[in-house]
Amino acid sequence: MFSSAQGFLQTLFFVKTTIAKTAKIFLSLVPGLVISVSLYSSTALAQESTDNSKQKDPLTTVYKNVGPDGSITFSDQPSGQSETLLIEPVPTVPALTPEKILKSKKATPNSQADAIGYDTFNILSPADQSAFNSGSGDLSVLMEISPALASGHQIELRMDQKLIDRGKELQVSIPNVDRGTHSLQARIVSSSGEILKEANSSFTMHRPSVQR
């Protein structure tokens, strides 16, 4: 009996000691945990407050006054019977200065016209690689274009790399062309000189020689 009682007391003492040590370790960790949570919460709240202050503009305080005749007036100074109102700021749009307007206009001259795409642009006559006789050497160049030539666009016609005509006409006459093979080049150009479309053709002119 004595031996059993002594063993029970030793076991009880061991359990009690173990619980005491565990509680002591836990209590030593709790203050650090509480401080960490507290610091995190304070930082998060401070950040949220800063973000809110950045997003929202300050409210304007206005005082509303009602006169004896029922008329309503507003003032930035309070009076005895005035009602305090908090007014949110009115959203504003920055005004365009004359310099910005002029830059905007200069940046896109004839922008609508330049955006036009031409589906068709060809030299119909003389046909490419064609050959023909001409006693006078006069040549008539005929072109086709679709859609119609836009405002601000012109057609440049060159023969053998030399500028012959610049304008809006689709038929151009070239007098006294020398016998031999020549090249034609037609270009649609914008007001800024950009080449929008190009057509090419070559031909051979035969002219009778004069017998003396």
164, 83: one domain:
no
Query: pLDDT tens-digit profile of 142-195?
Result: 999 999 999 999 999 999 999 999 999 999 999 999 999 999 999 999 999 999
Number of structural domains in the chain:
3
Query: Could you please report the per-residue DSSP string of the chain?
Result: -HHHHHHHHHHHHHHHHHHHHHHHHHHHHHHHHHHHHHHHHHHHHHHHHHHHHHHSPPPEEEEEEE-TTS-EEEESS--TT-EEEEEPPPP--PPPPHHHHHHHHHHSTTHHHHT---SEEEEEESPTTEEEE-SS--EEEEEEEESPPPTT-EEEEEETTEEEEEES-SEEEE-SPPSEEEEEEEEEE-TT--EEEEEEEEEEEE-PPPP-
Lowest-confidence pick of 18-27, 46-55, 102-111, 201-210: 102-111
Yes or no: say if 121 and 154 are a contact pair by the CB < 8 Å rule. Answer: no
Q: What is the reported pTM?
A: 0.47
- Clarify whether residues 127 and 197 are in a common domain: yes
Q: Are residues 189 and 126 in the same domain?
A: yes
Which pair of structure tokens corresponds to residue 115? Answer: 């955006």
Q: How far apart are CA 63 and CA 87, in angstroms?
A: 10
Q: Are residues 116 and 189 in the same domain?
A: yes
Instruction: Tell whether 31 and 82 lie within a shared domain.
Output: no
How far apart are the C-alpha atoms of 185 and 128, rounded to whole Å? 11
Question: Looking at 25-29, 69-73, 84-88, which range is the least confident one?
Answer: 25-29
Residue 58 sits at the vertex; the CA angle it makes with 53 and 60, to the nearest 5 degrees, is: 165
Residue 75 near residue 65, CB atoms below 8 Å: yes
Co-location of 119 and 198 in the same domain:
yes
